[in-house]
Structure 1
């Protein structure tokens, strides 16, 4: 499955046990929401959270936002029932926590198919343990229903016993391994959360680093970060203009039988045009999503 141009600049975690948060999610300018039944929900509230999420999705009103539901692991008392319930819902994806092997994806895919999940529903995986990093390739290619990775950098840092530095050098190998695996199998990939809500400069730096590395967007823990993430992961007007310029120039050169063209002193080949078309498609999708919201 090829990665679509669907915007995923900002994807906000929201606890399924908080009915007001589920309602607020319908009006937030985030590209996506992760409705959570796992870490953000206490054990005695998990069944309620599951029921509230399914009811909210049945009610609808989330517009063009991509909705993932993070379920509990299959090895927990709630995991199987979570997957069954979400498979029957209108969610876009089931997000699995602490995935470490392809077998987990295959088990969930079998449940989804048995429960009649809609054909566009995908499986996403939280990548948050050392073993997940080492098995990223096998996880990415585990099943045709795979849709993407979400980096769980907080749990990963805990397991690595490493520091959360500004440049994230202690976990750069892990981020890179997951990026390679995701792109090798045409999956989307979202960067991990930034925990210090008061550190706006640090958040901006993390977003810039994430975009430079190739992440599609940033997962968030508070609505106040949505606008900054949307700006950071959206193509700038200058980038869009340049992309359209080289696409037009390359098309003209191709019509004249030329494989390359020089634009403003820069050699433009087909590989540059592929990147430019992807960027323009993303910009167009963002414009359409903004108009629908």
Structure 2
């Protein structure tokens, strides 16, 4: 086992060195014109896109695709590090050292002399260490809900913020309370819809989505994943319905009778349950 681990370390070091060299060559005079003109701002959409492509690969059937997409995401990290190196700020070694230092600090039960009995205690200790770390950096006390990226998808952000708040007991003790909150928010949304006030509708709809994200957390079913899978189901069924409509003579964009589309939709659902849809 130790020999295999050592081989993995050596291969990883060699390949990382190779990738850092490739990136430097692409950015150097005489390198790739496209790579040379990129900036932190221009790379933002690619960083997000590559992260989502990793998620797509994880839900696919190919382990190799998962590996390759992680490589694309790593390339984005190397790209950012090379731009920072050129600016005289930091480089990839600083990135790896920073995360290594952070992980060792937050795992004193592995790299230090702290004794911890179970995963729950690890989580509680992690929160304390992270809070102390952030307080040192900012020179002041920080909120327990800090650290959730503002650019994260809304459902994911709602789930992470409620999870962080729960670490100091700000949470329902049982799932039933969370489920009842969803009903409460739905009733308020109904009132807003009846009023026709766009601002009130936006407000109450947001509360419903927030409550559902919290319910997803309690049910241990990530809301973002559940929604993505639901969108995927809709897409497969709709494409099947669209194809059937085309076979019946309806052109692209032509509106078909709702009764027909409902019937086809139910057929698509039935086929999906039988594993015969896409």
TM-score by shorter chain over 0.5: no
Q: Greater share of helix residues, 1 or 2? A: 2
Q: Radius of gyration: which is bigger?
A: 2
Q: Greater share of strand residues, 1 or 2? A: 1
